[in-house]
Amino acid sequence: MDLTALPTQLSNNTDTDTQSINDAMTHNATANHGEHQQTLGKSSPTTIAPNAIILAHALTDKAISWHIHNCKISQKTVTQDLPLPFLYHYDSLEDAIKQAHPLTPKLLAQFNTLMTAQEAAKLIGIDEALLSIPWHVKVVGSLVVFSEALQLAVRLHWTNTGKETQQIYTQDKDDAVVAAFKDWQFFGRIDILYKNNNQPLISIDEQSIDTETNKPLPLTIQADIDYQYLPATHALVVIAKLEADKGELPWFESAILERIA
């Protein structure tokens, strides 16, 4: 699939993002709406207007008054009941117990077999209480960051892990969730709501090169009254920039930690 040729699409999200952001932003983008029904994935000439907004740079600009709206959870798993490979159970044992129950060919053959703590304890020949049972944590959510001054809203997605779940060894369930989010991350799809006809909004993918000028081809995001998908290659650029500067953008983490608390 040619990711740079994805058409403009409306978000299938049925929450109140669009209406709420519309209420916060003025409606100067509604005039001449029809002329902006262009392909979002279509690259522009390499000349960038002096007043252009560069999406990745704007989102990480601390001088811009950004607000977080509608931070919510779409998936949440926090359980101790999921199976783990046998080696995870065995590695959680104290050294003295490992010495008393060394690995045998029978145990080695089960190293990658998924099983519960009860099954692992029976296989080793010990009491289940001697095994440390982790919490399996997977939380996925989204948030909208918007600037009224720029007439720009961006829906981002976040999670604690890219794996099926993250294993956290702690006694308390709430502590496990907090620990899991020490290294939270942005990922996936990005939606853009842009209503400013006075400034071009640009996304730049350094890998998309104009063969004639040997310069990156900027992607112009047209003003529209609805959310538009950002092409996947450009979404990766934005996410990389956000991740690199995340420590300087505390409003994201504050909103997420408040939501999962």
pLDDT digits (tens, 9 = 90+) for 50-109: 889 999 999 999 999 999 999 999 999 999 999 999 999 999 999 999 999 999 999 999
Q: Tell me phi and psi for residue 129, to 5 degrees.
A: -65, -20
- pLDDT category at 27 given cuts 50, 70, 90 is very low
Q: Tell me phi and psi for residue 227, to 5 degrees.
A: -65, 145
- 228 sits in which H/E element: strand 228-229
SS3 213: coil
**Tokens in use for 200?**
């071009």
Q: What percentage of the chain reaches a pLDDT higher than 70?
A: 80
Reply yes or no on whether the pLDDT at 192 is more than 90.
Answer: yes
What number is the average pLDDT over the span 187-210? 90
1-5, 30-34, 244-248: segment of lowest average pLDDT? 1-5
SS3 34: helix
**Tokens in use for 3?**
């990711």
